[in-house]
Structure 1
Amino acid sequence: MARSWEDLTARVISGVAMVAVGLTVIWLGGTALRLGFALVVGGMVWELVRLLTPEARKSALAMAGTAGVALLGALYLPMLMALPLLLAPAMAGIAWVPRHRVLYLTFTAMILVAAFGMVQLREVSGMGWLLWLVLVVVATDIAGYFAGRAIGGPKFWPRVSPKKTWSGTVAGWIAAGLVGAVFAAQSEVGYSLIGLSIAVSMASQMGDMAESAMKRRVGAKDSSTLIPGHGGLLDRFDGMLGGAVFLLLIGPWAGLPVGTF
């Protein structure tokens, strides 16, 4: 049992630091928010290229810079003009990535679209909605981690993610529903937000599984070693990608009011 908790200290310290930085950037908004997301996007694309083609060091840096700049440019353009710029790094990278091009194309597009959607959520719908999204994904991850380690039981999908259990998966849904219940009392959406929160939790778990499948495909344990106890940025924010893309797709039909909290 002690062995299963051996990474807890590093994980907690890193997690607290990331939460503090993330909440500060979300609260500040504006340029700080946009620059923060651009840096994270660049780091994730750098990890992605290094995962798929470890020898392509220069290509990884070039594509990371291109992705960060593309996101910043898209955030200052009208929506319809921004869309081609968001997808451009994924398309351009095909010439730089000699292997696993479908994986590169898919994940790069997801990273940029998710980041763009999260910034738009903060700027258009208000800080509260971005905070809700972040807390749903974080609660899903924390509850899944502790329930999976403490309860254990049948594995969820051992071929893709050997450590994930059904107990951790269901605990993530419950935690997300509780976050939704808290925010429901402060919003016009009402308690239907609980259902949306659980759906976002499931989407975040799908993002986690997609990244796990990619790592198994290329024979890697973590996307990098940038974050002690967590691996890399992709390891930490894979769930956020899934949740953000899902919310971006269903947002127009979910009835999220603008600027309510």
Structure 2
Amino acid sequence: MAANWDDLKVRLMSGAWMAVLGIGAIIIGGVWFQMLAIFVTAVMVWECWIMIRGASPTSGMLLAAAVASILSAQVLGGAHNYEFIGLFLVVPIIGAAVLKRERMTFFIFALGVQIAGYGLVHFRIDFGFTWLIWLVSIVVVTDIVGYFAGKSIGGPKFWPAISPKKTWSGTIGGWIGAAIVGIIFFTFTNAGWTIILLSIVISFAGQMGDIAESALKRRQGVKDSSTLIPGHGGLLDRFDALLGASLFMLLVASLFDVSGVAF
């Protein structure tokens, strides 16, 4: 039984440092949060590249630098440069052209990561501190409650062919945790009751982001996207759920009039 928890201490320590850095950047906002989002986005695209291409430091770093440059042009200063949104296609197209395999896989992941990173920056600019904290809280609580529920209860696997460790108990536990986050924000903000349902759906979207990254790792035969974070693997391992949640929230906010949230 102890073996089930042997990674908990390292995970908690790494998670605590990331939480301090992330929450601090969200609170400060402005260029500090934008720079953090740009850095994390660029590194995640690099991790996608090295998982598919293998050890290729020069080409991977060049692609990461290109991502950082493009995203910087899009978000620094807080302007909505929608006319340049097509620039997000540059790195996916170049990477797909260079690769000899998994071209569409890299294209989809690199494009999705960039759009999600861009979306998180503008959540902070357009929606404000509270809404970004809500989104991040859903992802964090889903992960924490899901982890403990899955380890404690166990039971049937959610999608064993792709993510052998994930259980239905952990998945549903994550939804319950997200619902509690929604209830808290419904109680203490001007959000309508739909925030509770939306929190659960975003929790599921985050879980699907995690599943998508698990599928990529399984397809490439790797355990982690990189070894940058002790106990967590790479940045893509840690932020895959936030990417899924961000992409889904961008879609929802662009299609529907969500109480308290509007583009």
Detail structure 1 runs of 4+ shifted over 6 Å in the superposition.
Answer: none
Give the drift of 1:38.
Answer: 0.8
State the alpha-carbon separation in 2 of the partners of residues 55 and 227 from structure 1. 18
Q: Which residue of 2 is the match for residue 7 of structure 1?
A: 7
Give yes or no for contact 1:74–1:81 (8 Å, CA) kept in 2.
no
The separation in 2 between residues aligned to 1:43 and 1:188, in whole angstroms, is 36
Q: Give the CA deviation at 1:66.
A: 0.8
In structure 1, the residue matched to 2:235 is 233
Contact in 1 for aligned 2:47/2:234 (Cα 8 Å) = yes
Alignment correspondent of 2:89: 87
Q: Using the aligned pairs only, state the percent identity.
A: 44
The answer for unaligned runs of 5 or more in structure 2 is: none
SS of the aligned residue for 1:185 comes to helix
Which runs of no fewer than 5 residues in structure 1 stay unpaired?
Answer: none
1:182–1:197 Cα change, 3 Å: same
What is the CA–CA distance in structure 1 between the aligned matches of 2:127 and 2:55, rounded to whole Å?
A: 42
Q: Select 1:255's aligned residue among 227, 242, 258.
A: 258
Q: Which amino acid aligns with 1:166?
A: W
Q: How far did 1:231 drift?
A: 0.8
Moved more, 249-258 or 120-129: 249-258
Does the residue aligned with 2:144 lie in a helix, a strand or coil? helix
Report how many aligned residue pairs link the two structures. Answer: 259
Verify: 1:73 aligned to 2:70, yes or no.
Answer: no
Moved more, 11-20 or 75-84: 75-84
Correspondence for 1:34:
34
TM-score when normalising by structure 2: 0.95
Letter in 1 for 2:159: W
Task: Measure, in 2, the Cα distance between the counterparts of 1:105 and 1:98.
Answer: 13
Which residue of structure 2 aligns with residue 243 of structure 1? 245
Distance in 2 (alpha carbons) for counterparts of 1:41 and 1:86: 12
Aligned to 1:45: 45
Q: 3-state SS of the aligned residue for 2:166?
A: strand
| In 1, Cα distance between equivalents of 2:99 and 2:56 | 8
Distance 1:88 1:54 in 2: 21
Residue deviations 1:17-62 (CA, integer Å, cap 9, x gap): 0000000000111110111011101111111111001132211111
Q: Distance in 1 between matches of 2:234 and 2:243?
A: 14
For residues 74 and 229 of structure 2, the distance between their equivalents in structure 1, rounded to whole angstroms, comes to: 28
Contact conserved, 1:49 with 1:97, CA < 8 A, in 2?
no
**1:227-253 Cα distance to aligned partner (Å, 9 max, x none):** 111111111001001100000001131
Separation of aligned partners in 1, 2:55 and 2:229: 22
* CA distance in structure 2 between the partners assigned to 1:256 and 1:79 by the alignment: 25
With over 3 angstroms needed to count, the CA separation of the structure-2 counterparts of 1:110 and 1:156, relative to structure 1, is same
> Following superposition of structure 1 onto structure 2, how do residues 1-261 of structure 1 map, counting pairs within 5 Å?
1-76=1-76, 78-252=80-254, 253-257=256-260
TM-score normalized with structure 1 length: 0.96
Take 2:258 and 2:41, find their aligned partners in 1: how far apart are those partners?
28
CA distance in 1, matches of 2:175, 2:68: 32
- Would the aligned equivalents of 2:192 and 2:259 in 1 still touch at CA under 8 Å? no
Q: Give the residue type in structure 1 aligned to 2:83.
A: M
Q: How far apart, CA to CA, are the structure 1 residues paired with 2:261 and 2:237?
A: 31
Between the aligned partners of 1:57 and 1:42, the Cα distance in structure 2 is 14
